[in-house]
Amino acid sequence: MSLWEIIKRLYPYVRPYRPLVLGTLLLTLVGSLAAQVNPFVLRYTVDTVQGLLNANKGLIEGANLLLLVSGLLLGKEIINTFIQFGQKFYGEKIRINVSSTLSQDAVRKILSYQLGFYSDNGNQTGKLQTRIDRGVESLMKLVQNFFIDILPLFANAIVALVVMFSANLYVGLVAVCILPLYFWISYRQADKLNGTRRALRGLREAKSQGLVNLIDSAVVIKSFVREDYEELKQAQAQQNLQEAQLQTRKTNFLFDGLKTFTEQVGVVLIIILTAYLVLDRQISIGAIMFHILLFNNVSAPIRQLHRIYDEMNDALTYSEGFFDILDAKEAVEPTGPLQPTHLHGTFDICNVDFTYPSGTQALHDVCLTIEAGKTTALVGLSGAGKSTIINLLCKFYAPDRGKMLLDGKPLADYDTHTLRQQIGLVLQKNHIFKGTIEENIRYGLMNASFEQVQHAAKQAYLHEQIMQLPKQYESDAQQLSGGQQQRIAIARLFLKNPPIIFLDEPTASLDAIATEQIKNSLDAIKQGRTVIIISHSLAQIVDSDCIYVMKEGRMVESGTHEQLYDQRGTYREIFDASARSLNIEKLARVLVDDEDEVGDTAA
């Protein structure tokens, strides 16, 4: 993106604040005119004092002059204070408003994108956040530079130059000769720093990322006693950062020194020239001061050139990544016109192929039928493609090829939000938001009353446990155990009350008691709904109405438990392995012995 393109993209964001921008510009223009008052006042003072001295007059006559000069300078400063306040405050107001609109736009866009967008390499959580933060920050500086700073800065310099020229052509020429040199040094400085600053930023990120990792991995580091190793790693990152920081400072000091020197050469030249002109009686003695101050007004804004140049470079670097987020049109979730109020949940899937954006083909020519009101189980080893099927049914992703129908109509034709409002999804690990238990359960139905929330918690066998907590429903939900968090997800499901339910290993990470309770809750909610369940737990599969077996992205078997068991295929293999891993024979013996004992005692 070129600078011009970025400015064009930014303009709509600045547009609503046009009156504010114009007002700020006006203030700064007045400010730049006010800045020229000092040279005039000083010239007048010096010349008048000189006149008084020549006329052998003293303090009494000079007092009037002092009063006038103090009045003028203080009056100008008072006006200047208001101008500066207005300029800074309104400038900041524009920046803050534009930056929040830009950030909010990015948030809205990201929320509208498909899941594939998030798994893209450049969009992972940390990276996306950095891209947005940096993009907004550098664009804000551009707004400040381009819409607020540049014109007044140069207005100030130009007004000062015009005044210099009109006072004396030769002095004006000297000032103009110094400028290109100054520009060139500023340009070289920005150019040299460009690479180092980028490297510096990378190193800073690496260092803070290292620190975050350190905290995340504290338990592993300590248990393996790797403190020294980690410290060394951090020290290395610190060392690299230190070197880059020093290098940047060195370059800055060097160029700043050069610029000050050039400026001073300009001042010296102006002193020599004006002193010569004074001695030659071409101008008054006050003009020496007058020209030096004016030259300062010319060079002061140009001193900021390298900052502006740097920030424009930053904007060029980072805003592209930011606008890419706003423009990722292909990532927008597709939706359709159908908005039925009640879905039955008959899914017909035929010859479906699907490849993740990363390039992994997860489904090959998959066909299956999910009957409404029944429970269908998907079985297969890890990575077989079971969750992928659920991802496609929720329209998180679209298939590469094949037919997907819901209640007889193409899934793609359904309005995505309407579809998802009627699907309840419980995963192996469900996200718990930062907040209270009540807020987390209410996520299932945002306008639910507290009684409804409580009722849902009871159905999910969670209420009793919540009541034992010191702050009950007000407790921090993220502090709950895995099993309790899972129950929150189920309570949400009860509140949402959808006709279609997808369960993706809902009890995989739970203990036996929690598993049993959650199974009871799920059995209660399954009634009369379309359910797809993925589970490694035989208990949850065997009584499904239909079981589909997957292997390496393909559908290999289907039928009831009894049919599949008799087929002696993949299902049987998985079933037998599960039984062995549970040591069913021994468990069965224990149970039989137990029953015998009970029988004996009864007899």
270 in Cβ contact with 291 (< 8 Å): yes
CB of 508 to ligand ADP, least distance (A): 11
Token duo for residue 270: 């102006």
On the CB side of 266, CA atoms within 13 Å amount to 28
Residue among 73, 98, 80 nearest 9 (CA): 98
CA dist., res. 561 & res. 555, Å (int): 16
Residue 127 to residue 123: CA distance in whole angstroms: 6
What token pair was written down for 127?
């990276």
Nearer to ligand ADP, 123 or 186 (CB): 123
Out of 203, 287, 362, 432, point to the residue binding ligand ADP (CB under 6 A): 362
Q: How far is the CB of 500 from ligand ADP (least distance, A)?
A: 18
Q: Which range in 143-151, 179-187, 240-248, 356-364 contacts ligand ADP by CB under 6 A? A: 356-364
Given the complex with ligand ADP, which of 129 and 360 has the nearer CB atom? 360
**Stretches 73-81, 151-159, 375-383, 408-416: which one binds ligand ADP (CB under 6 A)?**
375-383
DSSP 431: -
What span, in angstroms and rounded, lies between the C-alpha atoms of 537 and 550?
A: 16
Token pair, residue 534, equals 């993925």
Q: Which is nearer to ligand ADP, 2 or 121 (CB)?
A: 121
Q: Count residues contacting ligand ADP (CB under 6 A)? A: 13
At 100, phi and psi to the nearest 5?
-70, -35
**DSSP-assigned states of every residue in 99-144:** HHHHHHHHHHHHHHB-HHHHHSGGGSHHHHHHHHHHHHHHHHHHHI
Q: What are phi and psi of 560, to 5 degrees?
A: -85, 170
Which range of residues in 150-158, 265-273, 352-360, 458-466 is near ligand ADP by CB under 6 A?
352-360
Strands (E), 99-223: none
- Whose Cβ is closer to ligand ADP: residue 428's or residue 515's? 428
- From 163-171, 357-365, 366-374, 508-516, give the range in contact with ligand ADP by CB under 6 A: 357-365
Minimum distance from CB of 388 to ligand ADP (Å)?
3
CB of 387 to ligand ADP, least distance (A): 3
Can residue 124 be called a binding residue for ligand ADP (CB under 6 A)?
A: no
Q: Which residue has the tokens 């050039």?
A: 262
**Minimum separation from the CB atom of position 204 to ligand ADP (A):** 30
Segment near ligand ADP (CB under 6 A); pick from 141-149, 320-328, 353-361, 491-499: 353-361
Q: What is the DSSP string of 331-393?
A: GBPP--SB--S-----EEEEEEEEE-TTS-EEEEEEEEEE-TTSEEEEEESTTSSHHHHHHHH
| CB 360 to ligand ADP: min, Å | 4
CB of 394 to ligand ADP, least distance (A): 13
**How would you classify the pairing of strands 347-355 and 361-370?**
antiparallel
Give the pair of three-digit tokens for residue 200. Answer: 């510096």
Least gap, CB of 550 to ligand ADP (angstroms): 6
Nearest to ligand ADP of 393, 453 (CB atom): 393
Instruction: Out of 100, 351, 360, 479, point to the residue binding ligand ADP (CB under 6 A).
Output: 360
| Position among 124, 351, 358, 481 found at the interface with ligand ADP (CB under 6 A) | 358
Residue position matching structure tokens 């129908």? 405
Scan residues 5-64 and list those touching ligand ADP (CB under 6 A). none
By CB under 6 A, residue 119 contacts ligand ADP:
yes
Q: Which is nearer to ligand ADP, 390 or 466 (CB)?
A: 390
Q: How far is Cα 182 from Cα 314, in angstroms, rounded to an integer?
A: 22
Concatenated DSSP letters of 211-238: HHHHHHTHHHHHHTT-HHHHHHHHHHHH
- Pairing mode, if any, of strands 530-534 and 500-504? parallel
Toward ligand ADP, which CB reaches closer, 345 or 380? Answer: 380
Q: How far is the CB of 544 from ligand ADP (least distance, A)?
A: 16
Q: Does 428 bind ligand ADP (CB under 6 A)?
A: no
By beta-carbon proximity to ligand ADP, the closer residue of 185 and 362 is 362
Which of residues 381 and 445 has its CB atom nearest to ligand ADP in the complex? Answer: 381
Q: Which stretch binds ligand ADP (CB under 6 A): 249-257, 355-363, 429-437, 449-457?
A: 355-363
What's phi and psi for 469, nearest 5 deg? -80, 150
| Terminal Cα distance for the chain, rounded | 90
Give all strands of the β-sheet with 361-370 in edge-to-edge order. 361-370, 347-355, 401-406, 409-410
Q: Closer to ligand ADP by CB, 370 or 495: give it.
A: 370
Helix (H, G, I), strand (E, B) or coil at 281: coil
- d(Cα 250, Cα 193) in Å, to the nearest integer? 10
Residue 337 vs 359, nearer CB to ligand ADP: 359
CA 391 to chain centre: 25
Residues 547-586 that bind ligand ADP (CB under 6 A): none
The contact mask relative to ligand ADP for 459-498 (x = CB under 6 A, - = no) is ----------------------------------------
427 contributes a contact to ligand ADP by CB under 6 A: no
Question: Could you give the C-alpha distances from 158 to 175, 289, 428, in angstroms and in order?
Answer: 11, 19, 68
Judge whether 190 and 310 are in contact, CB under 8 Å.
yes
For the CB of residue 431, give the shortest distance to ligand ADP in the complex, in Å.
Answer: 16
Q: Which is nearer to ligand ADP, 269 or 556 (CB)?
A: 556
> Which one, 373 or 569, has the nearer CB to ligand ADP?
569
CB of 568 to ligand ADP, least distance (A): 22
8 Å CB contact between 132 and 140: no
Report the site for ligand ADP in 377-406 (rule: CB under 6 A).
380, 382-388
| C-alpha span between 591 and 550 (Å, rounded) | 33
Q: Name which of residues 293 to 312 contact ligand ADP (CB under 6 A).
A: none
**Nearest residue (CB) to ligand ADP, 112 versus 119:** 119
Among all chains, which residue has been given the structure tokens 């948030």?
107
Distance CA 372, CA 362 (A): 25
The CA distance from 304 to 422, in Å, is 59
Name the segment binding ligand ADP (CB under 6 A); options: 58-66, 189-197, 262-270, 376-384.
Answer: 376-384
Does residue 356 bind ligand ADP (CB under 6 A)?
yes
Residues that bind ligand ADP (CB under 6 A): 119, 356, 358, 360, 362, 380, 382-388
